[in-house]
A and B are shown apart, each in its own frame.
Chain A
Amino acid sequence: MTQSGGLMAAASARNRAFIGKNEHDYVLVHAGVAQLGDATLLFPGSPESGKSTLVAGLVRSGWTYLSDELALLDPQTGVVMPYQRPISIDTGAYDLFPELRHRGYAPSAEQWHVDAEDLRCGATGGVLSAIPTHVVFNRYDPTSSTTLAPLRQATALLQLIGNSVRLANHGAIGFEVLAVVAEKTESFSLDSNSLAEQVSELSSLVQ
């Protein structure tokens, strides 16, 4: 682990407390979140959809890390809050991050919980909240070439609902928050069999 690991651990502890104390205040979506420049992207998806691997790849290439697991949406403002826990990388993706082995991540481990600062120094810095600009539903498909295709807003809203957590607890406000996200952002599906191509495609999209 790098020297910044202590800071990351502190941030994670703060995030856990933050979630535990205020979870009911936020509309939660299973999603990775990363930022580049003025663009903040949500990557909604189930635990096995590859969103953590994608977020790790983006962070390594210069994006700021906000979350690999949950998007916390403020129902009053629609902004997304950072939730910077260690990034969970499954064994199947270890070879995509060979540099981490030199930072003490063991190839024999069942899962890596990666400090984002180990991917890139400064990867976690400075974001207190952000306005979502894009929603990308990524899917790893070993048979697919990289395809980024726009989605209708209604389709994006359905998928946001499908990836939400206890949305009904928020009633009409929760539904409205996700509807506004669908309306105010550009939405895409991203099918790919290559992390490098995903990162390249998304970086081009927002630059």
Chain B
Amino acid sequence: MSELNDHRKQMKRHPDVLDRMVDGELVLYQTTNGAAAVLDPLGTLIWQCLADPASVEDLTPDIAEAFEISEAQVGADLLELFQRMATEGFLVDAA
């Protein structure tokens, strides 16, 4: 299980993850461990932003502005999302 507690840690998409839009919803499939997930709009935006490596800190200002939520709240939500996606094998450490 991946540990992720640092807002500055650069993460990237796992190279074994396939993604596809299906009727407006983004579905991920991890070919190595078989995990699959449907992302909500925030998750979809994050996934698109992670076309290049990024950290929670990198993404927080733009996401907070887009969703009109405080940066503190967005930062906490993003960290939780990153942790979940790393645990499922969708994200890996970019280092």
Contact = CB atoms under 8 A, between A and B. Distances in A.
Interface of A: 152-155, 157-158, 161-162, 167-168, 171-172, 175-176, 179, 182-183
B31 A168 contact: yes
Nearest to A160: B36
Contacts, number: 42
B25 A154 contact: yes
Contact of A176 (B20, B23, B26, B36): B20
Interface of B: 18, 20, 22-23, 25-27, 29, 31-32, 34, 36-38
19 contacts: A152-B25, A153-B22, A154-B23, A154-B27, A154-B38, A155-B38, A157-B22, A157-B36, A158-B27, A158-B37, A158-B38, A161-B34, A167-B34, A168-B31, A168-B34, A171-B31, A175-B18, A175-B31, A176-B20
Contacts of B26: 154
Given A158-B27, A175-B18, A179-B20, A168 B32 contact: yes
Contacts of A183: 22-23
B37 A172 contact: no
A161 B38 contact: no
A25 B29 CA distance: 20
Contacts of B25: 152-154
Contacts of A155: 38
Nearest to B26: A154
A167 B29 CA distance: 10
A155 B23 CA distance: 10
Contacts of B29: 161, 167, 175
